[in-house]
Amino acid sequence: MSFKLVEADLSDPVVLNVANLFVLWGQDEGTIPADRCPIDENEEAIFACVDAPVENGIVGGAIFYQPEGHDMLFLDILYVSPVDRRKGIGGALVRRICAIAAERGLAKVEFGTLVTNQRMQALGHALGFADYALMMNCRLDTKGAS
């Protein structure tokens, strides 16, 4: 399968809408937290587009930003359409983010994922990412801290 990675401008409402569809679809399949806020135009995006059969058809994307005061890019969202998975698209997107970070002289790329998201963890490990933190939360609407 032939695909290309293109920079996408999130200040374009159509592009921003596609980025937020990635979030919605990920939420629908339980791989992106249901309570996360929508993406806004202050982030950056790379989309993966197939050359055929649909010319320039978008099959996935990576949304990222540089957290203020941090020497890194943070990969906020990574999404590949289900029929196009395991074809190297997600890995290519993450490699591109790493290349952009290196071009900018940044020290690292980081992402967080749900503990249930085995695919994303496998992808990270395959690309040389290491586990180094565990996030915990307490739902105050159901249990509360005691």
Ligand X SMILES: CC(C)(COP(=O)(O)OP(=O)(O)OC[C@H]1O[C@@H](n2cnc3c(N)ncnc32)[C@H](O)[C@@H]1OP(=O)(O)O)[C@@H](O)C(=O)NCCC(=O)NCCS
Interacting residues toward ligand X by CB under 6 A: 26, 31-32, 78-80, 85-91, 111, 113, 117, 119-120, 122-123, 126
Q: Where are the beta strands (DSSP E) in the chain?
A: 3-8, 44-50, 57-65, 72-80, 108-111
Which residues, at least 6 apart from 104, have a Cβ–Cβ distance to it below 8 Å? Answer: 66, 73
Minimum CB separation of residue 18 from ligand X in Å reads: 14
Minimum CB separation of residue 146 from ligand X in Å reads: 30
Closer residue to ligand X, CB minimum distance, 15 or 80: 80
CA 105 to chain centre: 21
- Residue 134's closest CA among 110, 115, 121? 115
Q: Which residue is nearest to ligand X (CB)?
A: 90
Minimum CB separation of residue 80 from ligand X in Å reads: 4
- Alpha carbons 21 and 63: distance in angstroms, whole number: 12
Token pair listed for 34: 């249901």
Closer residue to ligand X, CB minimum distance, 18 or 105: 18
Closer residue to ligand X, CB minimum distance, 46 or 105: 46
Token pair listed for 45: 């995006």
Minimum CB separation of residue 82 from ligand X in Å reads: 8
Closer residue to ligand X, CB minimum distance, 85 or 104: 85
